[in-house]
Amino acid sequence: MFKRIKENGKEFGFGNSTIGKNQRIVNKDGSFNVSRRGLNIFQRFSFFHWMINSKWSVFLGIVVLGFLTSNAIFAFIYDVVLGVNHFHGIETHSPLKNYFELFFFSSQTYTTVGYGRINPATTISSFVAAIDALSGVLYFAIVTGLLYGRFSKPVPKIQFSKIGVVAPYKEGFAFMFRVANKLNHQLQNAEVRLIASEIVDENGRASRQFFELELERKEIVFFATSWTIVHPIDEKSPFFNMGEEEFNRNEPEFMLQLKVYDQSYSQDTFTNTSYRKEEIVWNAVFEKILISNENINYVDFAKFNDVNYIS
């Protein structure tokens, strides 16, 4: 039987009714594996936050698509609703070519370039062109704000090991994983919290319990290279005297919160990740990755996830 340490009234925000055996609580990218129901799309979806956090390829694709769609609509209004006779400078007689001429006129108006070869000939076409120009100013103001939000959002370039290990440590064992600073910019005052969850049987009812684990070291001053996070599996650990089979049966998940001060943004940044039982290797130690020579120390990221098994 193992010795369990209960947290005194500490709440981690997940509740104890989450008992799914194959579900993550925290995804590998740090997001919470939580969906929301009972709300309409306008209540639970923020286009601004989605654009700020989407991939660059998605963001740029939507920006380009929005630009093309808007100009295609105005070109349709110019060509079909108003007609080419409302414009000076159109020299083609093909309906398709006329549409593209007006599409490019719209894009020039939208971006306030205005080359001048095609121009409105009537009051109504000038009015629509004015709305076109105003739409372009508003569109690029929104895109500029989104770009600023993306570039100003602090995103620490932290690499976590893909696996954790249960390895010999002092007189017993410890759960370990490692993190590293991928870039050359300065990170310091790094602090880590490690929370474990497991499914336990309480009076015949399965429930998920959470524990904040004791660590060998919870903070470091300078996060210059790599850092191996160590949770000693001793009498204070909820996994004390627990074998691999019982460990896996309890469906454990280790959730990490890493806080670092990033000098590039002059503020604290937070990064999350988690490890489940299938991402934990027993009786193994991480390969050495910090190499020193006469002039400089360097981290060998090619070996970052390599382990040596202990026979």
What is the CATH classification number for the domain harbouring 213?
2.60.40.1400
Could you tell me if 97 and 236 lie in one domain?
no
Q: How confident is the model at residue 138 (pLDDT cuts 50, 70, 90)?
A: very high
Nearest to 84 by CA among 70, 69, 100, 68: 100
Higher local confidence (pLDDT), 134 or 42 = 134
Could you tell me if 165 and 228 lie in one domain?
yes
| Cβ–Cβ < 8 Å for 167, 310 | yes
Is 102 among the domain residues? yes
Contacts of residue 286, Cβ cutoff 8 Å, sequence gap at least 6: 161, 165, 167, 176, 178, 228, 306, 307, 308
How many domains does the structure of the chain reveal?
2
Q: How confident is the model at residue 15 (pLDDT cuts 50, 70, 90)?
A: low
Name the most confidently modeled range: 59-73, 148-162, 291-305.
Answer: 59-73
Among 23-27, 115-119, 240-244, 271-275, the least confident range: 23-27
Could you tell me if 303 and 164 lie in one domain?
yes
Expressed as residue numbers, the domain containing 303 is: 158-309
Instruction: Choose the final residue of a domain: 119, 152, 185.
Output: 152
Gyration radius of the chain's alpha carbons: 29
Is 242 among the domain residues? yes
* Tens-digit pLDDT profile for residues 38-69: 777 777 778 888 898 889 999 999 999 999 99
Could you tell me if 189 and 227 lie in one domain?
yes
Could you tell me if 81 and 209 lie in one domain?
no
pTM above 0.75, yes or no: no
Residue 156 has pLDDT above 60, yes or no: yes
Instruction: Choose the final residue of a domain: 152, 183, 208.
Output: 152
